[in-house]
Amino acid sequence: SQKIEQNSEALNIQEGKTATLTCNYTNYSPAYLQWYRQDPGRGPVFLLLIRENEKEKRKERLKVTFDTTLKQSLFHITASQPADSATYLCALGYRAGNNRKLIWGLGTSLAVNP
Q: What does the binding site for another protein look like in residue numbers (CB under 8 A)?
A: 32, 34, 41-46, 49, 89, 91, 93, 99-107
The least distance separating another protein from the CB of residue 114, rounded to whole angstroms, comes to 27
CB atoms within 10 A of CB 108: 21
Q: Smallest Cα–Cα separation from 6: which of 65, 57, 73, 68?
A: 73
Minimum distance, C-beta of residue 79 to another protein, in the bound complex (Å): 25
Query: CB count, 10 Å around CB of 113?
Result: 11
Among residues 15 and 39, whose Cβ is nearest to another protein? 39
- Nearest distance, CB of residue 74 and another protein, angstroms: 19
79, 73 Cβ separation under 8 angstroms? no
- Of 84, 15, 10, nearest to 47 by C-alpha is 84
Question: In the complex with another protein, which residue's Cβ is closer, 97 or 114?
Answer: 97
Taking the complex as a whole, the smallest distance from the CB of residue 44 to another protein amounts, in Å, to 5
Which residue number, 80 or 107, has a Cβ lying nearer to another protein? 107
Residue of 94, 112, 114 whose CA lies nearest to 102:
94
Nearer to another protein, 4 or 77 (CB): 4
